[in-house]
Amino acid sequence: MMRLVCVCVCVCALCCLCAHIQNQQRGTKVFGIIGNPVSHSRSPLIHNTAFQHIGFDGVYVPLLVDDLARFLEAFKSHTDFQGFSVTIPHKVRLGTCFPV
């Protein structure tokens, strides 16, 4: 039963993500979760559902990132992305880049 629930959640998340991607406009704000693996994350489902509920023109996407340093360097000057959440394994490493 648990496996079926997980599959349903993943399918629903994918459908929600596809709907948001199809409705993007020039002003759509792009957010994402970076990690490896990232396909298991429920963050896109949670955030895209919230965006839709409040009428926010944004999309939250999963981003499979192997090399955190290269990713950050490539996207630091892009204004298309508004923000990222970070998950394993990069969350541990990112803490050393930005000490509190």
Residues taking part in catalysis: 91
**Residues whose CB is less than 8 angstroms from the CB of residue 25 and which lie 6 or more positions away in sequence, other chains included:** 57
Closest C-alpha among 81, 7, 87 to residue 41: 87
Whether 59 and 28 have beta carbons less than 8 Å apart is answered as yes
Q: How many CB atoms lie within 10 A of CB 95?
A: 11
Tell me the sheet residues that pair with 82: none
Respond yes or no on whether the N-terminal peptide bond of residue 37 is cis (omega within 30° of 0): yes
